[in-house]
Amino acid sequence: MSEVSKEYNFSEVEKKWVQSWDSSIYHFDWESKKPQYIIDTPPPYPTGDFHIGNALNWCYIDYVARYKRMRGYNVMFPQGWDCHGLPTEVKVEQLNHITKNQVPRAEFRRLCEKLTFEAIERFHLSMGRLGLSTDWSNEYVTMKPEYYVKTQTSFVRMCQNGQIYRANHPVNWCPRCGTAIAFAEVEYDSRTTTLNYMRFSAEEGEMQIATSRPELLPACVAVAVNPDDERYRKYIGKTVSVPIFNYEVPVLADPVVDTSFGTGIVMICTFGDRQDVRWWMEHHLPLRQSIDREGMLTDIAGPYAGLSVAEAKKKITQDMVNEGIIFKQEPLEQNVGLCWRCKTPIEILSEQQWFVKINREEIKKTAEEIEWVPPHMQVRLKNWADSMEWDWCISRQRIFATPIPVWYCRHCQEPKIAREEWLPLDPNQVNPPEKCKCGSTDFIAEQDVLDTWMDSSISALAVAGWPDRKDLRMPTQLRPQGHDIIRTWAFYTILRTKSLEGVKPWDTILVNGMALGEDGHKMSKSLNNFIRPEEVFQTNGADALRQWGAMGGSPGNDIMFQWKEITAASRFQQKLWSIYRFSLPLIAKVDAVPGQVDRWLLGELDSLIIKATTAMDAYQFDETMKAIRGFAWEVLADNYIELVKARLYGPDGPEKRAAQNTLYTALKTISQLMAPFTPFISEEIHHTLTGESVHVQSWPEPSGVAIDLAGLAIKEIAAALRRYKAEKGMALNSPLRGIVVYSDLSLETIDLVGVANSQVDSRTGSPQIEMRPIAIRPQMKVIGPRFKDKSGKIIKALSGMDPALVSDQKNRGIIAVPVDDEIIEVPAQAAEIVVESLSAGEAVDIMHLEKATVLVRR
Ligand SMILES: [Zn+2]
Ligand SMILES: [Zn+2]
């Protein structure tokens, strides 16, 4: 066998396997008779850097994929790329110093695609280096026609069954990005604004209204009071005049109005917030849109038209202060909705958009049919479902996204939705191949594109063969994802799968935590706590990073990146390597009858397998790794190997072969159990031992050997002997004068002979022990205070007495000490008796253990 280096060279080993592995062994077999295990893996945005968070997510998936493969499943670990979306557009704009409208749509899209393909290439390299068992035969790229044809098909089918519709409806709008966004893309942050108290005039007298958004005055369509509020009862049903803009609006009664906020009167604008939308719908109010798509005031704002929201706010406020309409101002803490991407405050605009119907109850019911790990994550989904105010707006006013396959007839305005067989298509590139119902062939293409989540929310369907395969593999088995995208990816996937195929998307959803920096904050470049996986590949290797991921705790918890954990992982790898390096020249796969110590080890190995299997089935990766580390380090290295060294180094014979085979079995099994976590070192060890890849092996099965109690007792005796030698200051290999072991387990002696480096007799029953007094230790602290100046003489005389005689007297309570012809009686505590243990007349040291008594000749 080739020479094994003393230090584990992770870099050399990992690079070697990255180059030589054949990734086709990870391909999903559509013809296989094995049970399927399809993982609906997250398709990341390939634009950013590959970071520790990506690595952690993928590690979790890879642990499961490799484990399930070893358990005999036909596993699919696909890899998708969620390409479309604003982040890429923004990056292309920055890199090329353009805005999306300065180049033709097709050219802008081409630039986005180029950037994305380059990023995917970089990800491929990092993922290979991380040792992932990705199934590259099931890779999908959402910007490619072969994927977005699925998105478009799903759109067409949901239009046909009425689950997608087009309507003029309020939507969340980012004026900077110039697009509608979904609720899930709105972030909330608290900001300090100003609450302005204004006078509205009415025939019944002045009404005072407080608002933080005077720039919405031209959008005011009503004012509302609480019907129980005595102060304002007289105004209900009358009208008031909107100051500055001078038009009348009705005064409504609505029980939702908070009588304690501001003056207890609110103005309803289209739209300041979600409550305005509710009132607008309930009271069938007219629409006055004062803010346009670019965030500028519209013509109804009169002299303020064309100003930005911020400018208009300032100017209108100033004018009203000057005219005495605003008579009081105070600071107000307010939760403001922001665009998730650019943090610009969002506006609510009423827009002609495409929507997906949301059936809350159906989504919640489907969520209940899915196993959630950990279970409490399901609550987040349900809460989110209950908080949604209106349907999911899926149209976006951007470019780099799946085109909406729709045209509008220029003659009769009727929308023409593409037929499935025409897809994929971009309506801006082609005309529909048939006339409008009215006979016209003059169409306007839909310019809007689809929300990126429309692509990724059919990921489970897509990997399961939708829509082409007759044998659609739904539901898939596992959805692994972060808790940060429960309200988007998990929510939308459940909705869409149920809508399109009437089934739940997955059997189980496994929710992992976020990777935090060493300071406990979310990793980010700006906080300077950002670690790239490549840094760890360089310093400690991919296996060490993967072990950190596994040790990070139970699913759902955030996990902090810590270099000391990486170091601990490396240390364990080195320990395993040392065991392997020691064992390799000594072990063999041979037929042998295991002895007591071997059966103890094999029994421990069985319980490790059972523990690891249970933990893996519950996605408790940390428990699995802890059990493996504990076994390898303590059971195998510290105890078993120390016990059987003499056999391994000794002459050939059945006992030697039993140790050789047992150690071989243990090492091979460890490499298999660790294969899901540390694919590189596991492969290196397993491949050297067996000539086969560990990644095509089955998960180890318990061999049915119970822990041998005699072997366990021998292990404990060996440990006691090591302690004994250490206490006596003896070298561990220094010989002892002889050992007799008493136990009812009829212990084998061969390994104890090696450990003790002495002769060992094994007997049943208990030893006959005789205790013989051999010396006296006078106790000055007892004698001194009582006998003062006689103490010296007493001690001297006491020391000279016969230990057996003194021991007798001590047992009776008084010791008679002859001093200068006088007998002085001292109390029993004045002397301590040193005894020695005798067995068959020989002096011995005795160790009482649970299952044995050990005598060591002195
Ligand atoms: Zn934005
Ligand atoms: Zn028409």
CA of 101 to the centre of ligand 2 (A): 29
Summary count for the chain: helices (H), strands (E): 25, 33
Identify the nearest ligand to the CA of 396 by its number.
Answer: 1
Ligand number nearest to the C-alpha of 87: 1
In the predicted model, what is the mean pLDDT of the chain? 93
The helix/strand/coil state of 88 is: helix
Using pLDDT thresholds of 50, 70 and 90, give the confidence band for residue 47: confident
**What average pLDDT does the segment 342-347 reach?**
90
CA 90 to ligand 1 center in whole angstroms = 10
Say if CB 345 and CB 272 are below 8 A apart: no
For the cut 50, the answer to whether the pLDDT of residue 604 exceeds it is yes
Q: Which 3-state string (H, E, C) describes 529-580?
A: CCCCHHHHHHHCCHHHHHHHHHHCCCCCCCEECCHHHHHHHHHHHHHHHHHH
Ligand 1: distance of its center to the CA of 174 in Å? 5
The more confidently predicted of residues 49 and 675 is 675
pLDDT exceeds 60 at position 742: yes
Point out the ligand nearest to the CA of residue 437.
Answer: 2
pLDDT of the residue at 85: 86
For residue 352, the CA-to-ligand 1 centroid distance in Å is 19
With bands split at pLDDT 50, 70 and 90, how would you rate the model's confidence at 448? very high
Over residues 799-848, the pLDDT tens digits come to: 999 999 999 999 999 999 999 888 999 999 999 999 999 988 889 999 99
Beta carbons of 494 and 453 less than 8 angstroms apart: no
pLDDT at 527 over 80: no
- Supply the pLDDT for residue 1: 44
First-to-final CA distance of the chain: 45
How far, in Å, from the CA of 173 to the mean position of ligand 1? 8
Q: CA 155 to CA 453: how far, in whole Å?
A: 12
What CA–CA distance (Å, rounded) separates 46 from 44? 6
Q: Is the dihedral of CA 253, 255, 259, 260 positive or negative?
A: negative
Amino acid at 625: M
Q: Are 660 and 586 in contact (CB under 8 A)?
A: yes
Least confident among 147-151, 680-684, 835-839: 835-839
Summarize pLDDT for 275-284 with one digit per residue, the tens: 999 999 999 9
Bridge partners of residue 822, in order along the sequence: 819
- β 326-339/186-202 pair status: antiparallel
Q: From the CA of 622, how far away is ligand 2's center (Å)?
A: 63
**Residue 553, by phi and psi: left (phi above 0), alpha (psi -120 to 50) or beta?**
left
Q: Is the pLDDT of residue 83 over 90?
A: yes
Structure tokens at 713: 């007792």
Q: Is the separation of the CB atoms in 715 and 726 below 8 Å?
A: no
Give Rg (Cα) of the chain: 40
Q: Does 450 score more than 80 pLDDT?
A: yes
Residue 2: pLDDT band (50, 70, 90) is low
Rounded Cα gap, residues 644 and 642, in angstroms: 6
CA of 343 to the centre of ligand 1 (A): 6
What is the 19 CA–ligand 1 centroid distance (Å)? Answer: 43
Q: Which ligand is nearest to the CA of 436?
A: 2
The CA distance from 45 to 603, in Å, is 48
The residue behind tokens 């480096």 is 757
Cis omega before residue 700 (within 30°)?
no
Q: Which of the ligands is closest to the CA of residue 342?
A: 1
d(CA 377, CA 486): 8
Q: What is d(CA 493, CA 41) in angstroms, rounded to the nearest whole number? A: 12
| Confidence grade of residue 557 (pLDDT, cut at 50, 70, 90) | confident
- Counting ligands in written order, the one closest to the CA of 440 is 2
Give strand pairing partners of 760.
Answer: 739
Per-residue pLDDT at 520: 84
| pLDDT surpasses 80 at 524 | no
Query: DSSP string spanning 335-395?
Result: EEEEETTT-PBPEEEEEEEEEE---HHHHHHHHHTSEEESTTHHHHHHHHHHH--S-EE-E
Say what percent of the chain tops pLDDT 70: 99
For residue 556 the two structure tokens come to: 């759902």
Q: Which pLDDT does position 487 carry in this prediction?
A: 92
**Under DSSP, is residue 29 helix (H, G, I), strand (E, B) or coil?**
coil
Query: Average of pLDDT values for 744-760?
Result: 93
- How far does residue 435's CA lie from ligand 2's centre (Å)? 8
pLDDT of residue 54: 83
Question: Contact 550/621 with Cβ under 8 angstroms?
Answer: yes
Confidence band of 553 (pLDDT split at 50, 70, 90): low
**Cα of 442 from ligand 2 centre, angstroms:** 8
C-alpha to C-alpha distance for 522 and 835, rounded to whole angstroms: 66
Q: Residue 452 C-alpha to ligand 1 middle, in angstroms?
A: 15
- CA–CA distance, 77 with 463 (Å, rounded to integer): 9
Mean pLDDT of 133-150: 97
Ligand 2 centre distance from Cα of residue 440 (Å): 5
833: which strand partners?
776
Q: Is 495 helix (H, G, I), strand (E, B) or coil?
A: helix
Q: Which residue has the higher pLDDT, 757 or 528?
A: 757
Q: Residue 457 corresponds to which tokens in the numbers above?
A: 């929310």
Residue 518: per-residue pLDDT:
85
